Each structure stands twice: as structure tokens, then as C-alpha cells.
Amino acid sequence: MSSVNWKKIYIWFFISFILFSTIYCGVSRVNLLFHVALSLFLLSFIFSPVVRENVLSDRQYLPAMLLVALFAIYYSLSNLWADHSHLESSLTHSFYLLVLMALYRQAELAGYKKVVIAAAWLGTIALAILTLIYVDKTKIFTQRLSNAFPWAPDNVIDLGGYMALGILFSTLLVREMKTFWVLLPVPLLLLCLILTQSRGPMLALVLAGVMVYLLRPNLNLKFLLGLILLLVVVAATLYFSGFLDRFLQRIESSYQQSFIRFGIWQHAFEVSLEKPFFGWGFDKELTFINSINQPVTTTHSLYFSALLKGGFVGFTLFMAMIGFSLWQCKKHLAANHKAEIAILLFALIFYSTQGMFIISNPREYWVLFWLPLIIALSVPPKRQEQ
């Protein structure tokens, strides 16, 4: 079998993994699809000079892989000075992330980018439908879509993040597929996002959209009218369902709770200063009682978590990886790929108030952080590989 055929096989296994891992979060049988894609890719890399040349000669992408590798390996090695070492599993997960990057890039070079994005997009739509099917309808306005579809992300904030990403994927596919029909599921995704009553993903979605628009303002009257119509329909639905008051109360409550997080972040920073250079190690968690007497173990911010676990050395590597992804956005903007920039900004804003760490087996972090980061790092190729 030729290297081209092998490449198509592992790319389609990768696409299948993206689809089903978006629907079934952290399910080991779904992860088998990734391991098959990984194995076929490694075999092709070892035995096919063409595949090996495609990977090693990609000077646009190799610096990104190097920065991610430095970040992931450093934090994996931080197990050596952690209280409990999980060095082997951390290094394995770091390797998985690098293969994830390589698989996405090979898919894009082979012309499958829109298929990969469409798989993730379809996954969010399927997850939204399944969540609405499984949720207790008598508590749909109070339960925040929790305890619904059993394989959804455990945290409804992450579930809201999936819905917001699905909306952004829709905007990307409008450009890739040259049709507005892909916007039809947006009301469904927006409805589920609102029902989670999660301020973080909604705020991240709005801020990412506004920031990208300000980069290159281009008023599309049809799009503006469609957006206004959508917001009117959503507002009317919330009002006549009696959910609007509860939703506004939830937003107000979330605003008040944001001040509690400032106390958590202050404590996390103070603990970080006790071991400022190399951090506390990979497994470090907080032991903290917040201002309303709740025990807290997570930093509620990926950025403070990076500082806590890896110190200033690790935090510098983390920010170098983030900074390079933002630098690559210049190339996306030059190609008028604004949706990719919005997807990255959403992830960076979302995780400023969410998460503990991102090196793990395939879980929600892969969808909410790594996929957006990789999309941004993989700039439009100068020439299309076949």
C-alpha cells in the first residue's frame, strides 16, 4: 500500500476520533481511535520517506511543535520534585499531544482541515441534542444541564465551552464550505450554552468575537441582521419560558462569585512564591478555605496553575507557547482566517478562569484547549501537500 493510502487511513481514524471524543468525553473505547491513528502515523513516519520528509521539512510548523514539546516535557519532569511522581504517564501524555499536533497538521496539508473542523462541529451538535434528550425536563431551567448525557464533560462550564466552540466552528465552516447553511445549528448550540448558565464560556465567546471584529472591521449587513434576529428570538424564548429572571439572577450571582476567585488567585500566587523558580511539581493542588468557607483545591485558572506547578521557568515556557500561537495569528489574519483567531482567543480567555492543568489522556482539555491552540499554530501552508 502506498504512503498516500496509509496517510488517508490514519487521517480518517484521526477525524473519527475528533468526532466521537467531542461527544463521548474521556471514553477509553473512543480513545482507541486515537491510538490506531497514532500507530499508523508512527509506522508511516518510520517506513515512508515521503511522510517523514513532509513532517521534518515543515518549517512553518516545527517551531510550534518544539515549543509545545519544551512545555510538556518540562512539566512532565516536574514530577521529579512533586510529592507524588507520575513521570511515566505524564511523558506518555506529552507524547500523545505532540502526535495530536502532527496528525492535525498532516490532515490540513492533505486538504482535510474542513473535515476535521466539521467533525468537531458535528460532535458539539450531537452532544447538544443528546444532552437535551437526557436532561430532566422538569428541572431544565434549574439543573444547568448537569446530570444529563452521562458521557458529557463532568463540569457544566466545560459543556458550555463545547457549545461556544461549536458556534465558532460554524463561522469557520461558513468560509471553508462557502455556505451559510452551517449556521442553522447555532440557535441550538446557543440555547444549550445559555441553559448551562455558565458565565465563563459566554463571556469568552463574546470577547473573542468582539476582539476579532476589531482587528479588521467589516460590517456585513446580512450577518448583522441575522445576529439581531437570533438574539431577539433567544431573548423572547427566555422571557416567555420564565427563564429570563433566573438567568439574570445567575449572571448576577456569578459576578459576585468572581470576587471569590480573586482570593483564590491571590492565595495561589502566594503559594507559588514559596517555590518561585521551578514550582511545586506536577501534582500540586491548593489546600485553601475561601471567603465563604468552601474548601478549594484548584486554582480556577490555567495560568495560575502553570505558575504554581512549574514556577517562573514553567510559566515562561507556557507563555512562550501561548505567545507564539498569538504571533501565528498574524498569518491567519493575512489569509483572512479570522475564525481561527477567534477560536484561539476563546480558549485563552475561557481558561483564564477555569481549569487546573492540560496534560492528560484525551479529555475535555483536548477539545477546549489543545484543538484551538493547534488550529492557531497550524498556519495556512505555503503549498498544498498531496
Q: Mind listing the pLDDT tens digit for each residue in 55-95? A: 999 999 999 999 999 999 999 999 999 988 899 999 999 99
Predicted pLDDT at 383: 53
b/e burial code for range 248-262 (CB count within 10 A of at least 16 → b):
eebeeeeeeeeeebe
Tell me, what amino acid is at 265?
Answer: W
pLDDT for 291 beyond 50 = yes
Tell me, what amino acid is at 285?
Answer: E
Q: d(Cα 373, Cα 377) in Å, to the nearest integer? A: 6
- For residue range 311-350, what is the model confidence (pLDDT) as tens digits? 999 999 999 999 999 999 999 999 999 999 999 999 999 9
**DSSP letter (8 states) at residue 381:** P
Q: d(Cα 227, Cα 361) in Å, to the nearest integer? A: 37
CA-based Rg of the chain, rounded to a whole angstrom?
21
Beta-bridge partner residues of 288: 296
Q: What is the pTM assigned to this prediction? A: 0.92
Output the average pLDDT for the chain.
90
Q: How many residues does the chain have?
A: 386
More confident site: 227 or 121: 121
Mean pLDDT along residues 225-240: 74
More confident site: 53 or 68: 68
Beta-bridge partner residues of 289: 295
Q: How confident is the model at residue 307 (pLDDT cuts 50, 70, 90)?
A: very high
Q: How confident is the model at residue 261 (pLDDT cuts 50, 70, 90)?
A: confident
Instruction: Show me where the domains of the chain are located.
Output: 3-377
